[in-house]
Amino acid sequence: MKAGKLDRKITISRETETETETVDRYGTAASTWTPIVTVAAQRVTMSTDEFLAASGERTETAIVFRIRHRADVTLSDRVIFEGQAFDLVEIKEIGRREGLELRCEARR
């Protein structure tokens, strides 16, 4: 993975529960999204086949990022890019722990 292609910055956030004093009226602990890391990323455009397959089936905004390999990224995390939050829907390993491809959809 060439460093020159990693020309975007994304923040990976994880949902964490706040202190026990903060509960809603139903007794559920409130949670917040805490940034865990900001990394350099490459924004990848979809291939023609992916674009045609997704054109009539989806209304969400989909985006793909490539980053250097990290063992701590999970599907329960989310990506913040240019002020917009994206849910992680797929994480694919590139090579042998060389990088990760993060497929994301815009939060509704």
**Higher pLDDT among residues 17 and 77, named by residue:** 77
Average of per-residue pLDDT across 47-53: 51
**CA–CA dist 101, 79 (Å, integer):** 12
pLDDT in the model for residue 106: 86
pLDDT in the model for residue 18: 65
**pLDDT of 52 strictly over 60:** no
**Higher pLDDT among residues 52 and 22, named by residue:** 22
CATH superfamily of 3-106: Bacteriophage SPP1 head-tail adaptor protein (2.40.10.270)
pLDDT digits (tens, 9 = 90+) for 68-92: 999 999 999 999 999 999 999 999 9
Average of per-residue pLDDT across 35-61: 70
As a whole number, the mean pLDDT across the chain is 82
Residues written for the chain: 108
